[in-house]
């Protein structure tokens, strides 16, 4: 783009060349071995196994007995670094959001971009599955999904209701509940083996599934739309200086997405029926 911002789009609106660039970037990351800081396994390993840096719901730990919920800012920083890594492999790629409120998602479930076994050129689709390293004696493997019924995904009305929450603390809690529901929906349980569940439902391995990133871009975009409507004044003061480890950013550093170098496309497929420009 002319202004140098990376434009994130809804996955079903990607042009063939944009989808090919995304697949190329992911494929190249997946080809590096796990110890390489350009690899899929390396980046997914910040969220869950083996490093577990991710934030979900409130917790203490800053030495002041206060509960903090850094879910939204932490994942914004994480997506930013991940997207830089993807773009190092293919500069034409950006990480799209998956609008799980869309009519298409409520009819077909997981978007074809993520569920097709092959890419346009007939090669294996790197958005279908991601590599998981050996964990506790289990061998290396690929991620699995057992998605639920499409009409059980959260609705646009549920997202619209969140926009009316004036308090950041309320908003972050309730948007996480929708986020949790989509993780559980996409992971699901193997109908042929009730003991086996999909990775999206498991904090330890969800980030190895390529759809994780587009689910979190959807959440990040909902936060961005909420920020346009509600501003940042309700974020508790004590949050602002908190570090988003292991990233060299604080909460205050990630409040302005344009300053971070990216922007969301205005889309007809828009959560909350909101267009933002
Ligand atoms: Cu998540």
Query: Is 1 inside a domain boundary?
Result: no
Compute the distance from residue 129 Cα to the ligand 1 centre, in Å.
Answer: 16
CATH number at residue 24: 1.10.1280.10
- Average pLDDT across the chain, whole number: 94
Euclidean distance between CA atoms 250 and 158, whole angstroms: 29
Q: Is the pLDDT of residue 198 over 50?
A: yes
Ligand 1 centre to CA of 3 (Å) is 30
Three-state SS at 168 = helix
| pLDDT for 274 | 45
**What spacing in Å lies between the alpha carbon of 16 and ligand 1's midpoint?**
27
The answer to whether 74 touches 6, Cβ cutoff 8 Å, is no
What total number of domains does the chain contain? 1
Calculate how far, in angstroms, residue 223's C-alpha sits from the geometric centre of ligand 1: 14
Q: Which of 164, 252, 152, 173 is nearest to 219 (CA)?
A: 173
Query: Domain residues for 149?
Result: 6-273
Q: How far is the CA of 72 from the centre of ligand 1 (A)?
A: 10
Q: Is residue 253 part of a domain?
A: yes
pTM to 2 decimals? 0.94
Please give the distance, rounded to the nearest whole angstrom, from the Cα atom of residue 35 to the centre of ligand 1: 23
Cα(200) to ligand 1 centroid in Å equals 8
Q: Examine the pLDDT at 269 and tell me if it is beyond 70.
A: no
3-class state of residue 208 by DSSP? helix
Between the CA of 197 and the centroid of ligand 1 the distance, in Å, is 16
* pLDDT tens per residue across span 96-145: 999 999 999 999 999 999 999 999 899 999 999 999 999 998 999 999 99
Q: By CB neighbour count within 10 A (0-12 exposed, 13-18 middle, 19+ buried), where does 276 fall? A: middle
Domain-located, residue 226: yes
- Cα(2) to ligand 1 centroid in Å equals 32
Question: Which residues in 201-223 are b (16+ Cβ under 10 Å) and which e?
Answer: bbebbbbbbbbbbbbbbbbbbbb
């Amino acid at each position: 783009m002319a202004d140098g911002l990376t434009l994130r789009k809804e996955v079903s609106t990607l042009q063939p060349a944009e989808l090919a660039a995304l697949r190329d970037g992911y494929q190249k990351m997946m080809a590096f071995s796990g110890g390489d800081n350009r690899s899929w396994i390396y980046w997914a390993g910040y969220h869950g196994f083996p490093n577990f840096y991710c934030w979900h719901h409130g917790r203490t730990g800053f030495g002041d007995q206060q509960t903090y919920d850094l879910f939204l800012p932490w994942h914004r920083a994480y997506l930013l670094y991940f997207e830089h890594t993807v773009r190092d492999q293919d500069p034409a790629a950006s990480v799209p959001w998956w609008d799980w409120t869309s009519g298409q998602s409520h009819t077909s479930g997981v978007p074809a971009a993520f569920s097709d076994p092959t890419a346009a050129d007939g090669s294996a689709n790197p958005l279908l599955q991601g590599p998981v390293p050996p964990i506790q004696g289990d061998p290396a493997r690929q991620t699995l999904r057992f998605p639920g019924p499409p009409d059980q995904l959260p609705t646009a009305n549920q997202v619209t209701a969140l926009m009316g929450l004036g308090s950041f603390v309320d908003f972050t809690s309730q948007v996480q509940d929708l986020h949790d529901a989509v993780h559980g929906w996409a992971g699901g349980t193997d109908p042929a083996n009730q003991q086996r569940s999909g990775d999206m439902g498991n904090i330890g391995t969800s980030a190895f599934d390529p759809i994780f990133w587009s689910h979190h871009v959807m959440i990040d975009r909902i936060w961005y739309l909420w920020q346009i409507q509600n501003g940042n004044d309700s974020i508790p003061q004590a949050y602002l200086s908190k570090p988003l480890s292991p990233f060299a950013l604080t909460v205050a550093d990630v409040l302005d997405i344009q300053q971070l170098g990216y922007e969301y496309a205005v889309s007809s497929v828009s959560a909350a029926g909101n267009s933002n420009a």
